Amino acid sequence: MATKYYTKSELIRLNNKSIKENRNQCLSTEKLKNLNPKYIYPVMQTLFHNDKEMRTIILFDADNNKGILDISIIDYNKLNTFNGTQRVIGGSNA
């Protein structure tokens, strides 16, 4: 099964969009600045939320630090995927 993931630039862009659209769950912009741009950040769980958006739970590192970001269904469907045959922990190389 394919797993969706964010890159650092996608997280920053979609987080800024979520803040502008007053979505319920956004991430700390300071935390995002400190993420490594060479890593990917997998979506560990999703929840269809408010009948118009997807709540994504994102794994940031091997210490199980997570964040929640609400995005549009359209943006969610545009996220890249990996095939799941490789072991990926948040903050892993793509």
Tell me the per-residue pLDDT of 25-60, one tens digit each, with 9 for 90 and over: 999 999 999 999 999 999 999 999 888 899 999 999
- Looking at the structure of the chain, the number of domains it has is 1
DSSP one-letter string for 6-65: EEHHHHHHHHHHHHHTT-S----HHHHHTS-TTEEEEEEEEEEETTTEEEEEEE-STT--
And the tokens for 82? 């990996």
**d(C-alpha 13, C-alpha 7), whole Å:** 10
Q: Is residue 91 part of a domain?
A: no
In a domain, 64, yes or no: yes
Continuous H helices in 21-59? 29-33
Would you say residue 93 lies in a domain? no
Instruction: Give the domain extent around 32.
Output: 3-82
Q: Residue 90 phi/psi, 5° resolution?
A: -45, 140
In a domain, 87, yes or no: no
DSSP state of 84: S
Does 94 map to a domain? no
Residue 38 lies in a domain: yes
* Residue 55: inside a domain: yes
pLDDT tens, position by position, 75-91: 999 999 987 655 555 66
